[in-house]
A and B are shown apart, each in its own frame.
Chain A
Amino acid sequence: MSLQTLTYLVVGASFVLYIGIAIWAKARSTGEFYVAGKGVHPVANGMATAADWMSAASFISMAGLIAFKGYDASVYLMGWTGGYVLLAMLLAPYLRKFGKYTVPEFIGDRYYSRTARIVAVICLIVASITYVIGQMKGIGVAFGRFLEVDFHTGVVVGMAIVFVYAVLGGMKGITYTQIAQYVVLIFAYTVPAIFISLQLTGNPLPQLGLGSTMNGSETHLLTKLNHVLVDLGFASYTAEKGGMLNMFLLTLSLMIGTAGLPHVIIRFFTVPRVRDARVSAGWSLVFIAILYTTAPAVGAMAIYNFIKTIQTGPVGAPTANLEFDQRPQWFKNWEKTGLLKFEDKNGDGRIQYYNDKNQSYAEAASAFGWKGNEMVKVDRDIMVLANPEIAKLPDWVIALVAAGGIAAALSTAAGLLLAIASAISHDLLKGVFMPKISEKNELMAGRIAMAGAILVAGYLGMNPPGFAAQVVALAFGLAASSLFPVLLLGIFSKRVNRMGAISGMLSGLTVTLVYIFIYKGWLFLPGTNNLPNTAEYWLFGIQPEAFGAVGALVNIVVAWTVSRMTEAPPEHIQDIVEHVRIPRAAGETGAS
Chain B
Amino acid sequence: MSKENASAYWAANLRLLVGCLVVWFIVSYGFGIILAAPLNHIHLGGYPLGFWFAQQGSIYTFVILIFFYAWRMNKLDRHYDVHED
Binding site for B on A (CB under 8 A): 66, 71, 74, 77-78, 81-82, 84-85, 88-90, 93, 207-208, 210-213, 220-223, 238-240, 244, 247-248, 251-252, 273-275, 278-279, 281-282, 285-286, 289, 292-293, 296, 578, 581-586, 589, 591-592
Contact A210:B46 (CB < 8 A) given known A279-B70, A581-B10: yes
Partner among B45, B46, B58 whose Cβ is within 8 Å of the Cβ of A82:
B58
- What residues of A have a CB within 8 angstroms of the CB of B46 in the complex? 210-213, 220-223
Partner among B47, B69, B84 whose Cβ is within 8 Å of the Cβ of A88:
B69
A85 and B20 form a contact (CB under 8 A): yes
A273 and B84 form a contact (CB under 8 A): yes
- What residues of A have a CB within 8 angstroms of the CB of B69 in the complex? 88-89, 278
Chain B: which residue is nearest A277 at the CB level? B70
Q: Interface residue count for B (Cβ, 8 Å)?
A: 45
A348 to chain B, nearest CB (A): 35
B82 and A85 form a contact (CB under 8 A): no
Binding site for A on B (CB under 8 A): 1, 6, 9-10, 13, 17, 20-21, 24, 28-29, 32-34, 36-37, 40, 44-48, 51-52, 54-56, 58-60, 62-63, 65-67, 69-70, 73-74, 77, 81-85
Partner among B9, B24, B28, B74 whose Cβ is within 8 Å of the Cβ of A275:
B74
- What residues of B have a CB within 8 angstroms of the CB of A244 in the complex? 33-34
Task: Show 29 residue pairs from A and B whose CB-CB distance is below 8 angstroms, ordered by the A residue.
Answer: A71-B51, A71-B54, A71-B55, A74-B32, A74-B33, A77-B58, A78-B54, A78-B59, A82-B24, A89-B21, A93-B73, A211-B47, A221-B46, A222-B47, A238-B40, A239-B37, A248-B29, A278-B73, A285-B63, A285-B66, A286-B63, A289-B59, A289-B60, A289-B63, A578-B6, A581-B10, A584-B84, A586-B1, A589-B84
A210 to B60, CA, bound (A): 16
Partner among A84, A293, A583, A592 whose Cβ is within 8 Å of the Cβ of B84:
A583
A208 to B45, CA, bound (A): 9
A96 to chain B, nearest CB (A): 11
A207 to B46, CA, bound (A): 11
Chain A: which residue is nearest B56 at the CB level? A293
- What residues of A have a CB within 8 angstroms of the CB of B58 in the complex? 77-78, 81-82
A6 to B83, CA, bound (A): 52
Chief secondary structure at chain B's binding surface = helix
Chain A: which residue is nearest B80 at the CB level? A582
Chain A: which residue is nearest B66 at the CB level? A282
Partner among A84, A220, A592 whose Cβ is within 8 Å of the Cβ of B45:
A220
Partner among A238, A248, A583 whose Cβ is within 8 Å of the Cβ of B83:
A583
B59 and A77 form a contact (CB under 8 A): yes
- What residues of B have a CB within 8 angstroms of the CB of A578 in the complex? 6
Chain A: which residue is nearest B72 at the CB level? A278
Q: A81-B58, A82-B62 are in contact. List 14 more A-B contacts (CB 8 A).
A: A77-B54, A82-B24, A85-B24, A88-B70, A210-B56, A211-B46, A211-B47, A238-B48, A240-B37, A279-B66, A282-B63, A289-B63, A582-B9, A591-B81
- What residues of B have a CB within 8 angstroms of the CB of A251 in the complex? 28-29, 33
A293 to B63, CA, bound (A): 12
For the complex of A and B, list the 10 residue pairs with the smallest distance between their C-beta atoms, beginning with the closest: A220-B46, A74-B54, A282-B66, A211-B45, A278-B70, A296-B55, A211-B46, A211-B47, A279-B70, A238-B51
- What residues of A have a CB within 8 angstroms of the CB of B47 in the complex? 210-211, 222
A248 to B34, CA, bound (A): 8
A84 and B83 form a contact (CB under 8 A): no
A244 to chain B, nearest CB (A): 6
Chain B: which residue is nearest A272 at the CB level? B84
A211 and B54 form a contact (CB under 8 A): no
A472 to chain B, nearest CB (A): 20
Contact A582:B1 (CB < 8 A) given known A238-B48, A293-B56: yes
A212 to B62, CA, bound (A): 24
B2 to chain A, nearest CB (A): 9
Contact A282:B70 (CB < 8 A) given known A251-B29, A293-B60, A584-B83: yes
**Residue with the highest number of chain A CB atoms closer than 10 Å, among B9, B36, B81:** B36
A275 and B44 form a contact (CB under 8 A): no
**Residue with the highest number of chain A CB atoms closer than 10 Å, among B6, B56, B66, B77:** B66
A66 to B55, CA, bound (A): 10
B55 and A74 form a contact (CB under 8 A): yes
A90 to B83, CA, bound (A): 18
Chain A: which residue is nearest B43 at the CB level? A220
A78 to B63, CA, bound (A): 12
B54 and A84 form a contact (CB under 8 A): no
B54 to chain A, nearest CB (A): 4
- What residues of B have a CB within 8 angstroms of the CB of A296 in the complex? 55-56
A213 to B17, CA, bound (A): 40
- What residues of B have a CB within 8 angstroms of the CB of A77 in the complex? 54-55, 58-59
Partner among B1, B6, B66, B84 whose Cβ is within 8 Å of the Cβ of A281:
B66
A589 to B77, CA, bound (A): 15
B40 and A78 form a contact (CB under 8 A): no
A207 to B70, CA, bound (A): 26
- What residues of A have a CB within 8 angstroms of the CB of B59 in the complex? 77-78, 81, 289, 292-293
B20 and A275 form a contact (CB under 8 A): no
A213 to B46, CA, bound (A): 7
A279 and B67 form a contact (CB under 8 A): yes
